């Protein structure tokens, strides 16, 4: 696999920069970008790389081989080299319009139905990140593709505004779009890792009323009122301040299930919280917080899991490490956010080019598992390469 990358800034001459960038006949182009740049670049990318599949999304921060940037666009071009034999490496794109949050599961089915099953190895998925139920989206894809096919990716960001996100697909850029690429070929190397680093605090609260990803009551009280009591002065900055205090999901027996849920929105009138994914109506929720050191350690653990799964050091050649980290982690770490990217870079060394974004939700199986889940407040890493 050949990987080439460029980072564009707001004041760059876009046409000149794209003309000067000369990746070798890319099969797949990934674009992670601030919203204004993504809108400006969509047509230019189509004109410059008409034969490549072009997917990407808006972000809460862009990740590249040089670290973390804001107000930029990171473009990464992939060319598959395993073209001989009965199963050459290739990618197939699928996209659909999301008709609203209630359409999430059906939209997932529509995406999956567009992907030929023969030879399908894995799926990269990008979705708009506000009016979507990420858990239902994944469930719809799993209904069609089955639970044993790895799906990774993330939900678009908008710099923690939780207002409007955008997704790029080969036909253009939209604020109501879902896109994925199916990856095919016997030579492909694909692995993943996901880890958090957050710690629970306070008592577990029983979910007494919820619908899908909307939480109405905890312990019989309006969920928003309970949450505001915990946040204190931070409550005035909701929903953005909710990124600092996500929920840990617990089972009906208080057991840990390994999932974290971030707040996407609040409804003052009914006292509800809208979370990024489904809530267990029989379960419990517990608040969480984190330190920068713990989050950096979590990112390193995710990288180690992804690297070990494909024995990157022995694979040879060049690969891609796609990093999707939650915007909440970025807010907690502040000026030290580069440290989690540096920790991942240290694990992969020269064997992978880093790209990715800060998101409103992360999509990945648990480490060591294949069943895909929507995660919040995690660092998820997908490694993509080819056998030499």
Beta bridge partners of 28: 53, 78
Q: Judge if 8 and 97 occupy the same domain.
A: yes
pLDDT for res 123: 97
Q: Give the whole-angstrom CA distance, residue 328 versus residue 84.
A: 44
Q: Does residue 205 have a pLDDT over 90?
A: yes
pLDDT for res 244: 87
What percent of the chain lies above the pLDDT cut of 70?
95
**H helix runs in the chain, sequence order:** 14-20, 35-48, 104-113, 134-145, 223-231, 292-309, 312-315, 327-333, 338-348
Six-digit token string for 278: 């489904």
Six-digit token string for 385: 């390469």
Q: Judge if 109 and 220 occupy the same domain.
A: no
Q: Judge if 75 and 123 occupy the same domain.
A: yes
Last-in-domain residue among 255, 274, 289: 289
Domain with 55, as residue range(s), is 2-194+293-386
Q: Judge if 75 and 146 occupy the same domain.
A: yes
Six-digit token string for 321: 């490490």
Q: Reading across the β-sheet that carries 67-69, which strands appear in turn?
A: 67-69, 62-64, 352-359, 319-326, 379-386, 188-195
Q: Average pLDDT, stretch 145-159?
A: 95
Q: What is the pLDDT of residues 117-141, one digit of tens each?
A: 999 999 999 999 998 999 999 999 9
Choose among 174, 136, 110: nearest CA to 276: 136
Neighbours of 34 (CB within 10 A): 25
Q: Average pLDDT, stretch 259-287?
A: 92
Q: Does residue 152 have a pLDDT over 80?
A: yes
pLDDT for res 370: 67
Q: Judge if 218 and 315 occupy the same domain.
A: no
DSSP state of 46: H
Q: Does residue 240 have a pLDDT over 90?
A: no
For 6, counting Cβ atoms within 10 Å of its Cβ (0-12 exposed, 13-18 middle, 19+ buried), the class is middle
pLDDT for res 313: 45
Mean pLDDT of the chain: 91
Q: Judge if 96 and 26 occupy the same domain.
A: yes
Last-in-domain residue among 236, 267, 289: 289
Distances 40 to 8, 9, 13, 19, 151 between C-alpha atoms, Å: 12, 12, 11, 15, 29
pLDDT for res 311: 59
Q: Which of 27-31, 58-62, 241-245 has the lowest mean pLDDT?
A: 241-245
Q: Average pLDDT, stretch 268-274?
A: 95
Q: What is the pLDDT of residues 276-334, one digit of tens each?
A: 888 999 999 999 888 899 999 999 998 988 887 665 544 556 799 999 999 989 999 99
User: How many helices (DSSP H) and strands (DSSP E) are in the chain?
Assistant: 9, 27
Q: Give the whole-angstrom CA distance, residue 212 versus residue 102.
A: 9
Q: Average pLDDT, stretch 197-218?
A: 93
Distances 44 to 14, 15, 29, 86, 169 between C-alpha atoms, Å: 8, 7, 13, 35, 13
Of residues 136 and 349, more confidence is placed in 136
Choose among 148, 84, 90, 79: nearest CA to 119: 90
Q: Judge if 96 and 130 occupy the same domain.
A: yes
* Structural domain count, the chain: 2
Last-in-domain residue among 289, 309, 333: 289
Q: What is the pLDDT of residues 354-373, one digit of tens each?
A: 999 999 999 998 766 667 88
Q: Give the whole-angstrom CA distance, residue 296 versus residue 74.
A: 22
pLDDT for res 82: 67
Q: Judge if 78 and 160 occupy the same domain.
A: yes
pLDDT for res 108: 97
Which 3-state string (H, E, C) describes 65-115? Answer: CCEEECCEEEEEEEECCCCCCCCCCEEEEEEEECCCHHHHHHHHHHHHHCC
Q: Judge if 187 and 217 occupy the same domain.
A: no
Q: Judge if 79 and 17 occupy the same domain.
A: yes
Q: Judge if 163 and 237 occupy the same domain.
A: no
Q: Give the whole-angstrom CA distance, residue 257 versus residue 282.
A: 13
Task: Answer whether 315's CB lies under 8 Å from 387's CB.
Answer: yes
Query: What's the CATH number where 382 sits?
Result: 3.30.1330.40
Q: Judge if 177 and 59 occupy the same domain.
A: yes
Q: Give the whole-angstrom CA distance, residue 141 versus residue 152.
A: 12
């Amino acid at each position: 696999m050949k990987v080439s990358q460029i980072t564009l800034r707001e004041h760059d001459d876009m046409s000149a920069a794209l003309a000067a960038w000369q990746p070798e006949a890319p099969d797949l182009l990934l674009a992670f970008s601030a919203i204004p740049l993504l809108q400006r670049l969509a047509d230019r990318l189509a004109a410059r790389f008409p034969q490549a599949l072009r997917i990407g999304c808006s972000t809460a921060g862009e990740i590249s081989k040089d670290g973390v940037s804001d107000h930029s666009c990171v473009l990464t071009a992939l060319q598959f080299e395993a073209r001989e034999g009965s199963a050459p490496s290739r990618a197939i794109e699928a996209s659909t319009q999301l008709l609203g949050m209630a359409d999430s599961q059906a939209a997932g089915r529509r995406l999956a139905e567009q992907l030929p099953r023969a030879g399908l190895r894995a799926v990269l998925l990008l979705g708009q990140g506000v009016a979507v139920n990420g858990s239902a989206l994944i469930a719809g894809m799993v209904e069609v593709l089955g639970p044993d096919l790895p799906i990774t990716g993330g939900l678009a960001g908008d710099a923690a505004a939780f207002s409007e996100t955008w997704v790029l697909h080969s036909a253009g850029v939209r604020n109501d779009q879902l896109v994925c690429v199916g990856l095919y070929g016997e030579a492909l190397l694909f692995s993943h890792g996901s880890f958090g680093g957050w710690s629970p605090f306070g008592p577990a609260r029983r979910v007494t009323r919820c619908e899908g990803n909307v939480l109405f009551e905890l312990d019989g009280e309006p969920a928003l009122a309970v949450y505001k009591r915990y946040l204190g002065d931070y409550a005035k900055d909701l929903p953005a301040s909710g990124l600092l205090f996500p929920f840990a999901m617990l089972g009906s027996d208080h057991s840990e299930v390994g999932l974290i849920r971030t707040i996407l929105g609040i409804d003052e009138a009914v006292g509800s919280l809208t979370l990024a994914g489904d809530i267990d109506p029989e379960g419990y929720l517990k608040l969480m917080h984190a330190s920068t050191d713990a989050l950096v350690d979590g990112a390193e653990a995710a990288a180690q899991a992804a690297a070990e799964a494909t024995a990157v050091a022995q694979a040879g050649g060049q690969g891609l490490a796609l990093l999707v980290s939650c915007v909440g982690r970025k807010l907690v770490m502040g000026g030290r956010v580069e440290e989690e990217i540096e920790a991942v870079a240290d694990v992969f060394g020269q064997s992978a080019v880093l790209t990715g974004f800060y998101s409103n939700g992360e999509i990945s199986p648990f480490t060591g598992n294949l069943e895909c889940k929507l995660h919040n407040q995690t660092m998820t890493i997908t490694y993509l390469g080819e056998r030499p």
